[in-house]
Each structure stands twice: as structure tokens, then as C-alpha cells.
Structure 1
Amino acid sequence: MTSTSLSVLDLVPVRTGQTSAEAISASLALADTADRLGFRRYWFAEHHNMPAVASTTPPVLIAAAATRTSRIRLGSGGVMLPNHAPLIVAEQFAALEAIAPGRIDLGLGRAPGSDPVITQLLRGSGTTSDVEQFPRHVQDITALLGGDGATVRFTSGGEYTVRSTPAATGAPEVWLLGSSDYSAQLAASLGLPYVFANHFSGQGLERALDLYRGGYQPSEQHPEPVTFLTVNAVAAPTSEEAEERALPQLRMMARLRLNKPLEALETVEQALAAEPDAATTQVVEAARSRWFVGTGASVAAEVREFAARYGIDEVMLSPVAASYDAEPRDAAPGRAQTLELVAASL
């Protein structure tokens, strides 16, 4: 690696004909590959009830990846906090820190990660948090993860100490994730590391970074602002192959943007055979203009230029290379190839 480090964001994609078990097996093998190649961190996203996405429970996937890796940092990109009680999140990640000391990141977001029906089901117990309480719940989690825990003060008098784990020797690093001014300003005010979800949005990046860096309030753990950015990437031996492997995910993005029914991720052959309408083509072309797609050397050059433009030393790749029909369902050759080629050229 050079001065620009690479990391991975994984949504655990599920292709046509693939089971959840096969998709997860492929992602765990990819985490092992990233560890071997020297990537800095590997994060799992949280999404619910999506036919093409199996990353529903980041803590479970992180624990599984911890058994397969030895060096790389593992984390959530992110836990969608309004879906969960803060104490549960703190307990889960304190346990992960005990499993893989010094290697756990807790990325927190405030989006639901699904549609309104699933959001209601996730909050059906009445114990989960809500968006309005997000800033306070972020602070609750950071306190719970500390050695002294958090203190509950009763209105009638008295205090009650709560800890996320009985005898912590370390704590996960907490990050705020987002794609808006709100998240950038909150991370700055709390003195927390911040990640702009550039792979998903791409809009408002410069303003978000300016707000975060310009308004940053130093904290004990982070006296200076800390940030990196995410990008969608596909690398292959030829540009033609890279474009083909990118197409299924681009078409999936179009279905999402156009509120069309979602389905399992197409194979390359299925995507090439499809007849797109004008609206789909427009979304695909707009998204493709922001993705890094090409040979290992060309994608690595884009990564270097991107890092220099925004003053960052780390780029998190979301390897969105799809599979061909004949490729094994319990592996992700295109995604592994992307990591290998970019790492070798950076």
C-alpha cells in the first residue's frame, strides 16, 4: 500500500439463483482476501428485506469475519441506530471488541435501512430509538462503551450505573455515517470520525466535508477531524469486462431510484440481455459517471486522484462487480478480482 489506504464496504450481494448461505460464504472469503491484501478495514452495511442484499445484521457478520481474519479492522457501515436500542448496540459491539481486541469499528447511521413497513416491524417492540433522539443515543452508546459506563439518574433521586460489558479492556472506535449536512455537523460537534456515504449519494460531498472540518470540536480521542470516503468500484483485466461486471449493480441502482420492484442481483449475462427503458438508461448513465470502473491501473489512478482532491488518506471501496453465469455461487470472483487488481496497482 502507498499513502492512500484501501478499505471495503460489503452489502453481501445476492445474485440470481444464489442462497443467503452462499452469499455470506462469498463475503467471508472476500474479507479474508482483504485481510491478506493489507486493506485497512472491512465494514458490513445494514439493509433489510431486500432480495439482493444479505447484510441484515452487521454484528453477526462481523463476528463471523473475525474468525476468518487476523489483522484487518472490522465494523459496521453502518448500524442504523433508529432500529435498535442503544444499550443493545453497545453490548453487541463491546462483545465484538472482546472477540477481536483493537479491531472493531462501530459506524452509526440514522436512516432506517429499508421501507416504512420494515421500519415499523423493527420498532414493533417499542424499545427501539427514534430519529429525533439520534444525537443523544449516539452519546449514550459512547458512554456505555467507556470503562466507567453510563449513569442513569432518576427524577426521584439516586443513580444507576450501566456498562456494556463487565470488564472492558478496550472499546470500539465510533464513527458517524451519513450523506447530509446533518450528519456532518453532528459528527463535528461530538468530535467523532465521520464518513460521507459517497457510494450511495455522491451529492453534497464537498459541503459535508467543509461543514465537518470547519466546525470540528476536538475530543480527547480525536483532537483532529478524521474522515474517509466510499466509492463504488469494479476492476478487471480489461475495461470491457469491468463495464460488463458493473452493469447488474447499475441496473439494481436504477430499480431502486425508480421505485421498481426489487429482485436478486442479475448475472452479467442477464443484464446484457435486458432491454432497458429510457428512464433506466438515464439513471444507469448518471450513476456510472460517479463509479470507478476499469482496469486495476485505471481504477487505482482514480482512487489516488480522488483521495488527493478531498484530502483523505483512505478510500473505502464498495466492490460491486457482478458474476457471470458460470462462476461459483459460493464465491465472488469479480469482487475479489477488484480488490486484488486495485491493491496491486495503488
Structure 2
Amino acid sequence: MPPALSVLDLVPVRSDQTSADAVQASIDLARTADRLGYRRYWVAEHHNMPAVAATNPPVLIGLLAGQTTRIRVGSGGVMLPNHAPLVVAEQFALLEAAFPGRIDLGIGRAPGTDPITRWALRHGAGGVDDNAVERFGEYVDNVLTMMEPAGAGLDLRGRTHVLKATPAARSVATPWLLGSSDYSARLAAEKGLPYVFAHHFSGSGTAEALALYRSTFRPSALLDEPRTFLTVNAAVAETADDARRLALPQLLQMLALRTGQTLTAQPLVEDAEKVVADGLPEGHSGLLEAMRRRWVIGDAAGARAEIEELASSYDVDEVMVHPVAGAVAGTDPGSAPARVRTLELLAT
């Protein structure tokens, strides 16, 4: 059986878009995924980045869940060290109450931003614990417990105070641990939680992380056996040449991120082609090609075959696609037709 398909969305902002345009394009993409039968739609958390409007997963999840009818909507993920656990628990308990059975809480440990913005997130309004990264496992437990209908008991000065994320929960958002190293794999296995390795970002270490998770997994009240899936970057078009052309803007964005260049809004395809034609710095072409080989870029038949091969290789029954196809000049700013077309061609 071919793997189930899901979507990861960073809400990219192109050079021809405002934030409002980018959000509208993502709403359209989520509706497409819902219509085509995709399993889930996750949004990331990144801050102070010129090309990414996914700064607040709970807000985006509420918008997207309200514009769809069937698909699960969630975070890929909430960067827990940036937030007080009770706040995250309250946000996702309320989302689950509004859209019962459709909310996923993906939790990550990375900051998702630069050090200055990280400071502003934690300390700009009173702050979050400076040791939040080291206490990540404890914070995960706190969030999950406070979302439960019974809530959590906080012992303070000899008295137990009950903390509930919402007064009368009837269901709980499904938690997932996310990561790009073996830390989260070990933690997810220890706690008996579903786990996702950031294959779309890292590109290496996936097999090792999944093997570690599966081999050390301990059953829990939530999960009897390991549960995971694969994430991939994908650009799919009518021809493989078109797909390679459409993938170029995102490839240049990732190249800039990995080589310490100044980040900008995502260029249009024509502008990206000009950058390459003018010549990349020494060593950058090889890095770009190495990234390109790890992505799924091609026509519909080739891309579907590659995704099925990846699913088989990593022994997963679900693949979460990050649609990275860019836009050409003249595209309606409030739309992302090449990203929509990627989902359509993969679902055919």
C-alpha cells in the first residue's frame, strides 16, 4: 500500500508577498490538502525570519482548522523552551475543545530562531526558565498532564493546587515529540510517545534515530508500539525540468541558511535563476546539489515512486510532504499554485 500523505507548512513569504498574502496562500493549501484526503497538516514555529510567517502555531492551527473539515491540524512543532508549559497546554486544550479529534501537538526542543529573538521570547515579558532546554523532558510531562481532564497537582507550601488547561476536557490533543538528533528519539521512546525525525531538514541520521526510537520504545497508556513517519521536501510539476526550476528558490534559501548568508524573502523563480546564472560562491554549488539530491523533485510518477521507496526504506506508513515549489513572476500574491499543484500531483 502507498503511504498516507500529510503536509508540513512553514508559511513561506515570497518577495512579492505580504504576510497577509502568505497566510492566505497557506489557507488555500490547507483546503487543498483537506479536499485531496491528506491525513494531517502541520505548521512550524520560526521567529524573526524574512521568509517564514509561521511564528505562532496555535494561532495558525485555529485559522486552518476553521477553514477545513476533516484533516488533522497541528504543530510541527511548538518549540517548548520558548513558552511556559501551562500556556502551551491551555492553547492546545482549547484547540482540541473547538476541533475535537483533529488536533496534534508536535513538540520540539530547538529555539527556532536567533539568540536575540530567543531572549525576547523568553524575557521580554517576564521570561521563561533559563534552564528550559535542560528541563525539556519535565516540561513535556507538565504539558501532557495539565491537558488531561483531571489536570495536574502542584504542591506548594504543604497544599496541593489543581492546575487544568481547560475546565472540562473531553478529549486531548495527540502529542508528538520532534527532533533532529537522538535526544528526542530517546525521550519519545522512554515516555512511550509518537516521534518524528526532521528528515526534511537534516537529511542524515534518520535511519539511526528511528532505529534508536524503535529499539528502546516503552509502551505507555497513550501508545502500545512505536509510531513515526517521514518528512520530506518536495516539488512536483508536470515535468521533472519544471519541478527542478520551481525548487530553486527554496534551495537558495536553505543554502543561505546553512552558509551564514543574510536571509531575505523567498525569491521568485526568475530571480533565483539569475542568482545561479551569475555564479555561486566557491563550494556553494556542491552544497546546493547535495541538498537537491535529498529532496523529492520530479514529475508526478517519479515523485510518487520516490516517496514510496523512501517509505519502504524507513519502514513508515506515512510521509509528511513539505511542498517547496516556488512561484514565477506574475503569480497572484495571495496564492501558491506550484505548492498546490505539488499536492495535487502527489495525490493523483
Task: Give the TM bin, normalised by the shorter chain.
Answer: over 0.9
Residues 235 and 323 of structure 2 are in contact (CA less than 8 Å); yes or no, is this contact kept in structure 1? yes
Which residue of 152, 155, 159 corresponds with 1:153? 155
Residues 66 and 99 of structure 1 are in contact (CA less than 8 Å); yes or no, is this contact kept in structure 2? no
Instruction: Find the residue that maps to 2:235 and give its secondary structure.
Output: strand
**CA displacement at 1:280 relative to structure 2:** 2.4
**CA displacement at 1:51 relative to structure 2:** 0.4
Identity %: 54
Instruction: Find the residue that maps to 2:77 and give its secondary structure.
Output: strand
Q: Distance in 2 between matches of 1:63 and 1:279?
A: 43
Indicate the residue corresponding to 1:36 in structure 2: 35
Indicate the residue corresponding to 2:184 in structure 1: 183
Q: Distance in 2 between matches of 1:284 and 1:134?
A: 34
Instruction: Find the residue that maps to 1:105 and give its secondary structure.
Output: strand
Whether 2:197 is the aligned partner of 1:196: answer: yes
Whether 2:247 is the aligned partner of 1:246: answer: yes
How many aligned positions are there? Answer: 342
Matching of residues 69-88 of structure 1 within 5 Å: 69-88=68-87
Structure 1 runs of 4+ aligned residues shifted over 4 Å read none
Matching of residues 1-346 of structure 1 within 5 Å: 2-124=1-123, 125-129=125-129, 130-154=132-156, 156-274=157-275, 275=278, 276-344=280-348
**CA displacement at 1:6 relative to structure 2:** 0.2
Residues 2 and 308 of structure 2 are in contact (CA less than 8 Å); yes or no, is this contact kept in structure 1? no
* Unaligned 5+ runs, structure 2: none
TM-score, structure 1 as length reference: 0.97
Instruction: Find the residue that maps to 1:261 and give its secondary structure.
Output: coil
Q: CA RMSD in A?
A: 0.9
Q: Distance in 2 between matches of 1:39 and 1:17?
A: 28
Residues 100 and 171 of structure 2 are in contact (CA less than 8 Å); yes or no, is this contact kept in structure 1? yes
Q: Write the letter of the residue equivalent to 1:304.
A: E
Q: Write the letter of the residue equivalent to 1:334.
A: A
Instruction: Find the residue that maps to 1:167 and give its secondary structure.
Output: coil
Q: Distance in 2 between matches of 1:109 and 1:185?
A: 13
Q: Distance in 2 between matches of 1:126 and 1:250?
A: 38
**CA displacement at 1:283 relative to structure 2:** 1.8
**CA displacement at 1:17 relative to structure 2:** 2.2
Residues 78 and 177 of structure 1 are in contact (CA less than 8 Å); yes or no, is this contact kept in structure 2? yes
Residues 96 and 103 of structure 2 are in contact (CA less than 8 Å); yes or no, is this contact kept in structure 1? yes
**CA displacement at 1:126 relative to structure 2:** 4.1
**CA displacement at 1:3 relative to structure 2:** 4.2
